[in-house]
A and B are shown apart, each in its own frame.
With several copies, the nearest count.
Chain A
Amino acid sequence: MEVINQGTERLFMDPDPDKIRAFFHGKSRKMTRKEMDLKDAVATFVHDGDYLCIGGFGANRTPVAACHEIVRQEKKHMGLAGHTATHDMQILSAGEVYDHIDVAYVVGLEARGLSTCSRKYLESGKVQVTEWTNYSLALRLKAAAMGVSFLPTRNMMGTDTFNHSAAKTIKCPFTEKKMVLLPALSPDVSIIHVHEADIYGNCRFKGISVADIELANASKRVIITTERLISTEEIKRDPSLTKIPFHLVDAVCEVPGGAYPGTMAYKYFSDEDHLKEWLIVEKDTEKFKQFLERNIFECSNHEEYIALNGGISKMRSLRAKELLLHKEK
């Protein structure tokens, strides 16, 4: 198959579908209890050097609690899918958890501005980078989920984004048109925050799915953090609502407010004051160190982190904001 053009950066994960199949061949399909403490889930399923992908979109339905726990447990040398990575990346950069990254969207927190911490870490030379796009990373996950080694697309062409990727351009044998082929990406571990899950890992969430369904299907191991546990009877009452089935999941952790200070659709809006605090305090290395001590290392779990930043009354006000109560006449 003649390759017309190809990116020159490193491909961090092997796209060979037979190797990915071999892993899934050995993965248990039994519907067994998987609920556990987030601390144990991260200790058991997240290893130094693993390639990690975080679910959600930026600071929306993002498993922030899990990102804190990964930093608390001082995981190192991980690979990261910088897939609309915003506040999650800011946290993982603070812990210097990863040293190679597939970039789609990084460093920024969208309209909120750039994260000094993420920026400095990427500029430090400690991190190996390969460039992609938001859709391209979603497609790479989809390829792994489909059990193939690549998927074709028509973006990235003619740009340095392509030149600094690990994609390849070929000619379609049906149309003679150029297509970019993206290699499959099967993360070692992914973490996804959902609204509801049962103890076996059957999950529901509302609102946009972003790339979480592709991610759950593509990942070798999946940790679920959920706003609340629900009964399997409720899951089976309406199987049309299930987004992630149990056999993909390795751990289910009940973490109310697990996406705080990000947004959880229909539950709570983002805590913009606290996110701004992050963006400001980052600029002062010493202050940031103390901030991290207080907000991550000295908290034993997310409940303490939320309590530290306003607790129940803060969550109530964020819920009111999410529900637009301030707009009601």
Chain B
Amino acid sequence: MTRYNAMELMITLAARELENGATVGVGTGAPCAAAMLAQKTTSPDLVILFEAGGFSPELPEMPISVGDSRTIYKAVMADSMANAMEYCARGFVDYTFLGGAQIDMYGNLNSTVIGDYVHPKVRLPGSGGANDFASFCWKTMVMTPQDSRRFVEKLDFRTTPGWLEGGNSREKSGLPLGTGPHKIITDMAVMDFEPESKRMRIISVSPGYDLEDVEKNCSFELLKLDKIQETIPPSDTELRILREEVDPYQYVIGR
């Protein structure tokens, strides 16, 4: 039995990606927890942006909505959604965290439908701000459980752009240059994308799992870094701050 659960691990690893002084566009839940943890550990000057217009708040607790009052608590500005998205469109926002029901080997995401579009098995929320953030922010990160029903060969619907068909296809598509998926963080592994093919690649595996676990829980072939590291687990300090200061009511880490 580990000292932490899957969600605590993913949030901690995500927080470590956010260097001090960077800007991050976040939604509710895990992404918000990761940004808060980063602010309370390595990155006090991390600037948090909410798509609904909340700019750089001092989050008193976990917001329930990306537009609720917590997102403007002691914020420097309460702005419009268009202006918030235009900070991203202009290149001011470094990171964003996204999720989705399905992800493919190029980091494209589906949050629109499961099954056929016209007669869906499940109708999901659609893009929301995900397509916007993934198009405009410099680096897109994904936090999601490692599961072969999520890591699929082919998406039922490509809601949000990753590296599209790989190679230079994203560059050719017309999306802003220099943007794209950066890291995929799961309970079992951390993956990036091989620079040429833009295919998903394992770079580290979580303690308690091996490569085979990761590959078994993915429906497409994963590339592997020459030297795959073991993921450095959450420290006691990281866990304490996450549990006591970031999410005391266990809204996110309780799950």
Q: Note all chain B residues with C-beta closer than 8 A to A154.
A: 89, 135-136, 174-176
Check B193 for interface membership: any CB of A closer than 8 A: no
Residue contact A25 to B138, C-beta cutoff 8 Å: yes
CB distance from A54 to the nearest CB of B (A): 13
Cα of A240 to Cα of B57 in the assembled complex, Å: 12
Contact with B along A12-33 (1 / 0, CB 8 A): 0000011011111101111100
Chain A residues lying within 8 Å of B53, measured Cβ to Cβ, are 207-210
Interface residues in chain B, defined as those with a beta carbon under 8 Å from any beta carbon in chain A: 20-23, 27-29, 45, 47, 51-58, 60-61, 64-69, 71-83, 85-86, 88-92, 94, 108, 112, 117, 119-120, 122-132, 135-136, 138, 155, 157-161, 164, 169-170, 173-178, 251
Complex CA–CA separation, A246 to B88 (angstroms): 16
Please judge, given known A-B contacts A57-B65, A131-B112, whether A155 and B135 are in contact too, CB under 8 Å.
yes
Most buried by B among A27, A178, A245: A245
Q: Are B76 and A239 in contact (CB under 8 A)?
A: yes
Q: Do A147 and B136 touch across chains, with their CB atoms under 8 A apart?
A: yes
A-B contact pairs, 7 of them (CB 8 A): A22-B178, A30-B21, A107-B123, A122-B123, A138-B81, A208-B80, A240-B72
Q: A84-B67, A208-B79 are in contact. Are A265 and B72 (CB under 8 A)?
A: yes
Query: Which residues of chain B are near A213, meaning CB under 8 Å?
Result: 80
Complex interface: stretch among A266-274, A287-295, A307-315: A266-274
Given A60-B69, A111-B65, A156-B131, 19 further pairs, Cβ under 8 A: A29-B21, A57-B65, A84-B67, A119-B122, A131-B127, A139-B82, A146-B86, A154-B175, A155-B132, A157-B135, A160-B158, A202-B76, A202-B77, A206-B78, A207-B78, A209-B79, A211-B82, A245-B76, A270-B64
Could you tell me the distance between the alpha carbons of A139 and B177 in the complex, rounded to whole angstroms?
Answer: 21
In this complex, the member of B51, B79, B123 whose beta carbon has the largest number of chain A beta carbons within 10 angstroms is B123
A146 touches B117 (CB 8 A): no
Tell whether A169 is near chain B: CB-to-CB under 8 Å. yes
- Are B126 and A131 touching (Cβ within 8 A)? yes
Given contacts A208-B79, A217-B90, contact A160 B60 (CB under 8 A): no
Q: Is the CB of B78 within 8 A of A161?
A: no
Query: In the complex, what residues of B have CB within 8 A of residue A135's CB?
Result: 51, 81-82, 85, 89, 129, 132
B112's contact among A59, A160, A202, A242, by CB below 8 Å, is which?
Answer: A160
CA distance A244 to B50 in the complex (A): 17
Indicate if A145 sits at the interface (CB-CB under 8 A): yes
Asked if residues B86 and A29 are in contact (CB atoms below 8 Å), the reply is no
Q: Main secondary structure on chain B at its contact with chain A?
A: loop
Q: How many residues of A contact B (CB 8 A)?
A: 93
**Binary B-proximity of A100-138 (CB < 8 A = 1, otherwise 0):** 000111111011101000010011010000011111101
Residues of A within 8 A of B119 (CB): 125
Q: Which of B69, B86, B130 contacts A263 (CB 8 A)?
A: B69
> Is there a chain B Cβ closer than 8 Å to A329's Cβ?
no
The chain A residue sitting closest to B54, CB to CB, is: A208
A residues apposed to B, CB below 8 Å: 17-18, 20-25, 27-31, 56-60, 82, 84, 86, 103-108, 110-112, 114, 119, 122-123, 125, 131-136, 138-139, 142, 144-148, 153-161, 164, 169, 177-180, 200, 202, 206-211, 213-214, 217, 232, 235-236, 239-240, 242, 245-247, 263, 265-266, 269-270, 272, 322, 324, 327
Indicate which residue in A122, A236, A266 contacts B58 across the interface (CB closer than 8 Å). Answer: A236
A159 and B161 contact, CB distance less than 8 A: yes
Interface centre among A103, A142, A146, A157 (most CB of B within 10 A): A157
Contact B131 A155 (CB under 8 A): yes
With A57-B67, A135-B129, A148-B89 as known contacts, state yes or no: A327 contacts B123, CB within 8 Å: no
Cα–Cα, bound, A232→B58 (Å): 13
User: Do the beta carbons of A29 and B69 come within 8 Å of each other?
Assistant: no
